[in-house]
Structure 1
């Protein structure tokens, strides 16, 4: 017995984390952010989630997050830091954290882009976390330079474009499985309270 194509049910829509209208990241998947402001991008994502955020970074990394800078995005108390002393433990920690499904966002601040096998394992772990854990996790890999992790769901590049005292960035979606490349100018109005952030302004560029 065969089933006509038109009678097949459509696949259920994948849950997404929405940063702004038309600017979303699929949950239960692993994404990549690169560029000088990649950590600002990660904190922007964190501001759109609830509960703890797991931040994995090597113990030998010199440029750690500054609490004053974090406060402009989220309450620093939400961050849980994992600082492996061995390079191979960075990806292991990210994979196991995604598999647990205990937090909504797992950030892995890496010294280099991981290979395809490691990323595939993290995708599978995130799917397991979504099915068996308390939350549907999103994995974000922060990589230096222009990135280059293989097999990621999307790749984002974020760089400072500040004007005066107004925080601004240029954001580029450089790779996505189901969306075209796109650039935006992102503006975050200044806030005095980490629990009272005003809305972000996101404007597509035309150049």
Structure 2
């Protein structure tokens, strides 16, 4: 048995890698499962995937009534970087997502769901992503896309993206609805050269007050 002194180390704690959208508070830890909801959740998924890198595995079911427009996708990520998979039902979608995460070969794995999954499938996805971090070539980011305000239990974070366009340009309202170590917060995002980013400087008072 190891002694207490053998278990302790003076080495500083190294934070887990994450993806960010231009603000230190808009971060999603890699190797974990996050939930995206709101009517513009697919736009948010594409923006995050563009930051993480290709290939992206996007899994849907025949019940999905919405398909991505390649021309619209190209503003954020090249359509050739996205592999679309059609599962026969949502239980198969979650299984396919789990297998893709466990392999650790795709930096981003997205499950486009018609309803929030239960706790057990989410736990299995977390375990699969953790396995993929050690077994594969990357630390996979798992994204669950759910309608309305989401509600999947056990996720690392939950984010909502809604259009907030004006006559002056395209904008989106991003809300952090749930996070283990951070309170709810809202940002206003816009297109920039690097993709979606806050319309005000990071951590500014204006951004916090949106």
TM-score, scaled to structure 1? 0.89
Instruction: Check whether the contact 2:54–2:107 (CA below 8 A) recurs between aligned residues.
Output: yes
Instruction: Check whether the contact 1:185–1:205 (CA below 8 A) recurs between aligned residues.
Output: no
Matched, 1:18 2:20: yes
The superposition leaves residues 132-186 of structure 1 with CA deviations (integer Å, 9 ceiling, x where unpaired) of 1011100000000100000000000100001136221000011001122110000
Q: Equivalent residue for 2:171? A: 168
SS in 2 for 1:184: strand
- Give aligned pairs, total: 200
Instruction: Check whether the contact 2:54–2:108 (CA below 8 A) recurs between aligned residues.
Output: no
Across the aligned residues of Structure 1 and Structure 2, the Cα RMSD in angstroms comes to 2.0
Q: Equivalent residue for 2:130? A: 127
* Structure 2 unpaired stretches of 5+: 201-206
Instruction: Check whether the contact 1:166–1:188 (CA below 8 A) recurs between aligned residues.
Output: no
The superposition leaves residues 18-77 of structure 1 with CA deviations (integer Å, 9 ceiling, x where unpaired) of 222212110000000000100010011011022211001112312111111101111111
The superposition leaves residues 63-117 of structure 1 with CA deviations (integer Å, 9 ceiling, x where unpaired) of 1111111011111111100101122101101111110101111111000000111
Instruction: Check whether the contact 2:53–2:108 (CA below 8 A) recurs between aligned residues.
Output: no
TM-score, scaled to structure 2? 0.88
SS in 1 for 2:149: coil
SS in 2 for 1:82: strand
* Structure 1 unpaired stretches of 5+: 190-196
Q: Equivalent residue for 1:102? A: 105
Are residues 143 and 6 of structure 1, via their aligned partners in 2, closer, same or farther at CA, if it must alter by over 3 Å? same
